[in-house]
């Protein structure tokens, strides 16, 4: 059956025309749509006489009137009104529309004491987290998740031409090869279908390639080809004996796993000591049903070929993937894995660093040491990947002073220096093994003052070429047994920095976002720093006020050592070449065809080309034989227009 989350988008503007026309006109004339003023207007023209219209409904009504009865809103600046109504504009102010999807639960190679053990979710995630709830609603089906997020962004007025696909779910590298390729293929199928769909179809609950009917049941014929990746997991299939378990009420994906039938605590609370009363661990519970036929018999190669066909189609799709992000552990990164990540089309890797202390890693049973983290950074950077590290203060065995020193090592040591960073202060949840250390008095959460000092020090130590994406994990307060419940920790820390006369310098703090700009007034500057593979140039375009309009990451590798240990295929393509690892232009996502683009917006003003041309000049001047770019599927055509030719894994410019 259709869930409440899905049914809200079945809005019929025609039924509410009488209220929508005067309401939209009044909203267009209002000097501001903030708070009480907006609510007074919504109350004056209620939906069906009893409720407020949501932003997505107002936008749907506006588009319907513009399409069917434009005279009804004569004199109204419709483009301006749509921008004012757009929900959560920050969703696309970074220059791309981020679509987050989750893989199904799967055994994890780690035994970290701080990780949640919610067997309804992939390791380290909780079913109550917002993104996880969406994954559960869609049975972990990648097509359904992708379509749903694109639909929601569109319903709230966002442009979805350029998509960064973020795949979460613990350790990607531990999933079977065929599952990986099939999962991504279904995501690309959804982007292709959504991009080709007419406006009215984009707001439907199901896409044309959906394997789930309107009643919420999986179609028996698998109509879009291949099994649904949510429902093909035999370890999490439909077992009627689990239906009476309240913890499964919102989770239709947990299926025929006999080992789960007798487990009354599927949120994992029994696993706080590493296993439940019957001695079953998270891995044995979620993996008891096998891999669903994903591995072996060359299935991975077949699925990868299908993925590549869908990616080729996506190059010109209406929802193009301009970045593919996968997450893994440092000890799973080797030459073969780096090659595979690139063959799948990945451009960025989220890496669970957690700490740069061997003692802290060991105390938390991370399963690897700092040497593995050094090796993973080197291999990924040499292959051109962007690296987004995860770092955790307040781990077992650490303290605030040690954490501050540990954070500074991230940037002081050339072997690390991540491009992006997420700071996740350790929070205690009821189903983590850390519970027993807390109960024994061997671990305690930092108080708010201690945590604030760590975060302020982290913000102050983050260099201008790194983007500090997050400083708190989005764990619902109801799930936190002990630890910070402050959800706006970055805002609090920045206010404290301002009180001390400090200001953050990281990328996120300097982005132009929705600000207007004049390209002629932008100045180009470089930040130069050493890495484990050579020299890095962070090339940035700045407004006169110092706001960041765009940037490029250029690696000038040491030809003698940079590719040591890399796979042969990567060495053949990158030998002697500089590498563009990222090009990013900020501002609200602008449509690829330029439709409806107001003056002053950063995107599609030639800024990207200016950065790329500068990088080519730097690379040539440094004596490199050519320039390679780790392009995403959706940016290949752009680089071809700039004169780059296709290789097997990269695109190239030679001179």
Q: In this predicted model, what pLDDT tens digit does every residue of 392-410 receive, in sequence order?
A: 999 999 999 999 999 999 9
Q: DSSP H helical segments within 103-176, as ranges?
A: 130-137, 142-155
Most confident of 88-92, 147-151, 200-204, 231-235: 147-151
Q: How far is CA 650 from CA 18, 320, 511, 576, 632, in A?
A: 55, 18, 28, 14, 9
The first and second tokens of residue 361, run together, are 């890693």
pLDDT digits (tens, 9 = 90+) for 146-173: 999 999 898 888 889 999 999 998 899 9
- Map residue 629 onto helix, strand or coil: strand
* 227, pLDDT greater than 50: no
Measured distance CA(508)–CA(584) in Å, rounded:
12
Lowest mean pLDDT among 126-130, 159-163, 425-429, 615-619: 126-130
pLDDT, tens digit, for every residue of 171-180? 999 999 999 9
The mean pLDDT of 209-231, rounded to a whole number, is: 50
Write the pLDDT tens digit of every residue in 444-469: 999 999 999 999 999 999 999 999 99
Rg (CA), the chain: 25
Q: Which of 163-172, 243-252, 594-603 has the highest mean pLDDT?
A: 163-172
Rounded Cα–Cα distance for residues 257 and 115 (Å): 23
Question: For residue 123, what are the CA distances in angstroms to 81, 170, 219?
Answer: 43, 5, 28
Specify the range with the lowest mean pLDDT, choosing from 25-29, 305-309, 586-590: 586-590
Rounded distance between C-alpha atoms, residue 426 and residue 480, angstroms: 10
Tokens of 224: 């879009």
Looking at every residue in the chain, the average pLDDT score rounds to 84
The pLDDT of residue 238 is above 70: no
- CA 442 and chain centroid, separation: 34
For the segment 507-562, what is each residue's pLDDT rounded down to a tens digit? 999 999 766 788 999 999 999 999 999 999 999 999 999 999 999 999 999 988 89
What local confidence, expressed as pLDDT, does residue 220 receive? Answer: 42
pTM of the model: 0.82
**The predicted structure's pLDDT at residue 69:** 87
Structure tokens at 369: 């040491």
All structural domains of the chain: 4-87 (no CATH), 95-326 (no CATH), 329-508 (3.30.750.200), 511-654 (3.40.630.30)
Residue 493 above 50 pLDDT? yes
């Amino acid at each position: 059956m259709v869930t409440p989350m899905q049914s809200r988008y079945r809005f019929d503007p025609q039924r509410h025309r009488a209220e929508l026309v005067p309401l939209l006109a009044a909203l267009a004339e209002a000097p501001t749509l903030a708070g009480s003023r907006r609510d007074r207007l919504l109350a004056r023209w209620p939906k069906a006489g009893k409720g407020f219209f949501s932003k997505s409904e107002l936008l749907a009504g506006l588009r319907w009137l513009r399409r069917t009865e434009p005279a009804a809103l004569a004199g109204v600046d419709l483009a301006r009104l749509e921008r004012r109504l757009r929900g959560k504009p920050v969703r696309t102010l970074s220059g791309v529309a981020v679509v987050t999807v989750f893989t199904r639960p799967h055994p994890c190679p780690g035994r970290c004491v701080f990780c949640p053990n919610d067997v309804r979710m992939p390791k380290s995630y909780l079913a109550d987290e917002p993104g996880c709830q969406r994954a559960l609603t869609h049975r972990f089906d990648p097509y359904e998740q992708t379509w749903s997020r694109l639909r929601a962004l569109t319903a709230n007025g966002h442009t979805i031409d350029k998509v960064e696909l973020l795949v979460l779910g613990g350790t990607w590298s531990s999933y079977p090869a065929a599952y990986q390729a099939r999962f991504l293929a279904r995501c690309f199928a959804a982007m292709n279908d959504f991009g080709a769909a007419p406006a009215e179809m984009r707001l439907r609950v199901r896409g044309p390639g959906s394997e789930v009917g309107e009643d919420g049941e999986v179609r028996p014929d698998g109509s879009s080809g291949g099994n649904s990746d949510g429902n093909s997991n035999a370890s999490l299939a439909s077992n009627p004996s689990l239906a009476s378990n309240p913890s499964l009420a919102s989770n239709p994906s947990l299926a025929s796993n006999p080992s789960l039938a007798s487990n009354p605590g599927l949120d994992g609370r029994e696993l706080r000591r590493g296993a439940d009363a019957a001695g079953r661990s998270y891995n044995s519970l979620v993996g008891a049903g096998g891999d669903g036929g994903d591995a072996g018999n060359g299935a991975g190669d077949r699925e990868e070929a299908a993925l590549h066909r869908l990616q080729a189609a996506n190059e010109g799709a209406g929802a193009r993937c301009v970045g593919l992000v996968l997450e893994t552990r440092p000890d799973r990164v080797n030459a073969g894995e780096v090659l595979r990540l690139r063959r799948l089309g990945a451009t960025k890797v989220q890496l669970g660093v957690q700490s740069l202390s061997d003692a802290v890693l060991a105390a938390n049973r991370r399963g690897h040491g700092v040497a593995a983290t050094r090796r993973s950074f080197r291999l990924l950077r040499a292959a051109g990947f962007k690296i987004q590290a995860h770092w955790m203060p307040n781990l077992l065995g650490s303290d605030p002073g040690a954490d501050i020193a540990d954070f500074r090592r991230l940037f002081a040591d050339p072997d690390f220096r991540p491009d992006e960073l997420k700071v996740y202060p350790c929070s205690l949840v009821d189903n983590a093994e850390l519970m027993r250390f807390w109960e024994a008095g061997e671990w305690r959460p930092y108080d708010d003052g201690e945590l604030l000092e760590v975060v302020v020090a982290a913000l102050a130590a983050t260099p201008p070429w790194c983007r500090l994406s997050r400083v708190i994990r989005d764990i619902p307060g109801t799930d936190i047994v002990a630890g910070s419940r402050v959800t706006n920790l970055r805002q609090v820390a920045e206010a404290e920095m301002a009180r001390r006369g400090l200001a953050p310098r990281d990328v996120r703090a300097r982005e132009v976002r929705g600000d207007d700009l004049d390209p002629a007034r932008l100045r180009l500057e470089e930040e130069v720093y050493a890495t484990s593979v050579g020299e890095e140039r962070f090339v940035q375009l700045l407004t006169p006020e110092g706001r960041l309009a765009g940037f490029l990451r250029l690696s000038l590798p040491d030809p003698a050592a940079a590719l040591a240990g890399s796979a042969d295929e990567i060495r053949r393509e990158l030998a002697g070449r500089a590498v563009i690892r990222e090009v990013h232009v900020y501002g609200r996502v602008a449509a690829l065809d330029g439709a409806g683009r107001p003056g002053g917006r950063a995107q599609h003003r030639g800024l990207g080309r200016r950065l790329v041309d500068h990088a080519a000049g730097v690379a040539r001047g440094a004596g490199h034989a050519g320039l390679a770019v780790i392009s995403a599927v959706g940016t290949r055509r752009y680089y071809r227009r700039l004169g780059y030719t296709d290789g097997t894994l990269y695109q190239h410019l030679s001179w």
